[in-house]
């Protein structure tokens, strides 16, 4: 291979203390996720105490007007938002870790692959053509657009010798992004409804999506996760190089196909539901690798949990910083992720082939 730029740490698989430490780490991440979820339920334009959140979640119908109002806020606004944050965060985190594994490319990120703009373009186009107004109607087209763009960029970047070069994928993604962005703008400029839908959808937000969208999206993400877990053992072997993996009995083509399907399902569904959220997968995959080492069977679950925690926290911070307005989670993730990426570049974590 010779083009892998991930700095591999020696695998410490098998030693019992390391194993115990990793399980403890998973426990800590789950605890963090629970804390983030509770915060996400409590924080907002109307701050709630934990007792009120508890009440809103579990108490029966009330005659008290104040408590009914709390129930309403928790049920219709905070719960969907939190569930979507967890689901999309896990999807983007796992997607990011997988894509870095399958491309052996530390710069790979589902958001940099043109998946976002593919979805934007599809959304804007169907609104302009069919006049859709309900997210439930256009979410499917967003999914389709994301999948097509992702496959095209991925395909372009994996042709021939440049496949392992980190730059190729980043540039292919950037190029397709600029292209689709201009096309999107062209459509949006000629159609007021598209323009309005685009600017809200485009920021990457967890707000305003109901369970009618969240459940189907979760189903896709669930399917993606199952496929992802199935590829993990062969992914470890693939990272030893194609020849070694083949020698050890891995069906490379099958494993790659399954992997790309999983990535597309995860990133496409998450993007369809929340809009474009770039850098999240990239960021958490690196942190996960730092915490667990290169074993993907540990790395991927860590990345998924971290993704959910970071996305929820960004969403919460976004509700607080520009009150009474809100800063969308996608914008905050980018503001956090881009400097992170720059630091990785600066420290020489990526090298050209």
Partner 1 sequence: MNVTEVKPSLPPGVRLGRVSFVWRPWLLSVTLLLAAAAFLVFCVSIAVGDFPIGLPQVIATIFGRGEQVDRFIIMDLRMPRALAGLVVGVALGVSGAITQSIARNPLASPDVLGITSGASAVAVFLVTVSGGTAAAIVNSVGLSAAALAGGLGTGLLVYFLAWRRGVDGFRLILIGISVSAVMEALTTWLLVTADIRDVARAQAWLVGSLEDRSWSEVWTALWCGLVLLLVVSCVAFQFRPMHFGDEVAAGLGVRYTRVRAVLLLCAVLLAGVAVSAAGPVPFVALVAPQVAMRLARCPTPPMVASGLVGALLLIGSDLVARTALPVSLPVGVVTAAIGGPFLVYLLVRANLR
Is 188 a binding residue for partner 1 by CB under 8 A? The answer is yes
For residue 208, CA distances in Å to 81, 93, 96, 143 come to 8, 22, 25, 18
For partner 1, the closer of residues 63 and 352 by Cβ is 352
Is 157 a binding residue for partner 1 by CB under 8 A? The answer is yes
Helix (H, G, I), strand (E, B) or coil at 351: coil
How far is residue 249's CA from residue 318's CA, in Å, rounded to a whole number?
Answer: 48
How far is residue 105's CA from residue 352's CA, in Å, rounded to a whole number?
Answer: 11
Single out the residue of 175, 210, 233, 247 in contact with partner 1 (rule: CB under 8 A).
175
CA geometry: angle at 116 spanning 115 and 121, to 5°? 100
Among the listed ranges 23-31, 153-161, 261-269, 288-296, the one in contact with partner 1 (CB under 8 A) is 153-161
Per-residue mark of binding to partner 1, 73-112 (x: CB under 8 A): ----------------------------------x----x
Single out the residue of 4, 12, 185, 261 in contact with partner 1 (rule: CB under 8 A).
185
Helix (H, G, I), strand (E, B) or coil at 172: helix
Sites for partner 1 among residues 265-304 (CB under 8 A): 278-279
Nearest Cα residue to 123 out of 209, 204, 60, 202: 202
Beta-carbon contacts of 194 under 8 Å, excluding residues fewer than 6 positions away, are 124, 125, 127, 128, 187, 188
For partner 1, the closer of residues 77 and 193 by Cβ is 193
Q: What share of the chain is helix, strand, coil (3-state, %, to 5)?
A: 75, 0, 25
Q: Six-digit token pair at 32?
A: 């963090």
Sites for partner 1 among residues 34-73 (CB under 8 A): none
Is 325 a binding residue for partner 1 by CB under 8 A? The answer is yes
CB of 167 to partner 1, least distance (A): 7
How far is residue 154's CA from residue 146's CA, in Å, rounded to a whole number?
Answer: 12
Single out the residue of 24, 31, 159, 244 in contact with partner 1 (rule: CB under 8 A).
159
Is 121 a binding residue for partner 1 by CB under 8 A? The answer is no
Is 129 a binding residue for partner 1 by CB under 8 A? The answer is no
Is 341 a binding residue for partner 1 by CB under 8 A? The answer is yes
For partner 1, the closer of residues 177 and 236 by Cβ is 177
Q: What DSSP designation does 9 have?
A: P
Nearest Cα residue to 102 out of 229, 259, 232: 259
Residues binding partner 1 (CB under 8 A):
107, 112, 156-157, 159-163, 167-168, 170-172, 174-176, 178-183, 185-186, 188-190, 192, 195-196, 199-200, 202-204, 278-279, 325, 327-328, 330-331, 334-335, 337-339, 341-342, 345-346, 350-352
């Amino acid at each position: 291979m010779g083009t892998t730029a991930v700095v591999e740490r020696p695998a410490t698989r098998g030693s019992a203390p390391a194993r115990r430490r990793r399980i403890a780490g998973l426990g800590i991440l789950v605890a963090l996720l629970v804390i983030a979820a509770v915060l996400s339920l409590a924080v907002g334009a109307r701050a709630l105490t934990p007792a009120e959140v508890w009440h809103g979640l579990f108490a029966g119908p009330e005659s008290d007007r104040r408590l009914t109002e709390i129930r309403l806020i928790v049920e219709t606004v905070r719960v969907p938002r939190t569930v979507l944050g967890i689901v999309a965060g896990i999807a983007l985190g796992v997607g990011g870790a997988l894509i870095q594994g399958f491309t052996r490319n530390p710069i790979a990120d589902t958001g940099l692959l043109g998946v976002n703009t593919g979805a934007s373009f599809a959304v804007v186009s169907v609104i302009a053509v069919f006049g859709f107004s309900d997210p439930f109607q256009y979410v499917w087209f967003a999914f389709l657009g994301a999948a097509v763009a992702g496959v095209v960029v991925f395909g372009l970047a994996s042709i021939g010798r440049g496949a392992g070069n980190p730059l190729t994928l980043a540039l292919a993604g950037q190029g397709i992004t600029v292209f689709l962005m201009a096309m999107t703008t062209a459509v949006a400029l000629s159609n007021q409804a598209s323009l309005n839908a685009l600017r809200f959808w485009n920021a990457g937000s967890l707000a305003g999506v109901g369970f009618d969208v969240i459940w189907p999206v979760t189903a896709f993400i669930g399917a993606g996760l199952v496929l992802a877990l199935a590829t993990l053992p062969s992914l470890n072997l693939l990272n030893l190089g194609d020849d070694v993996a083949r020698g050890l009995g891995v069906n490379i083509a099958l494993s790659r196909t399954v992997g790309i399907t999983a990535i597309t399902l995860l990133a496409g569904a998450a993007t369809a539901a929340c809009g474009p959220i770039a850098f999240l997968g990239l960021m958490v995959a690196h942190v996960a690798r730092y915490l667990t080492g290169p074993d993907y069977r540990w790395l991927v679950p860590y990345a998924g949990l971290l993704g959910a925690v970071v996305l929820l926290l960004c969403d919460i911070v976004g509700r607080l910083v520009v009150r009474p307005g809100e800063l969308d989670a996608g914008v905050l993730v980018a503001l956090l992720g881009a400097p992170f990426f720059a630091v990785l570049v600066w420290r020489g974590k990526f090298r050209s082939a």
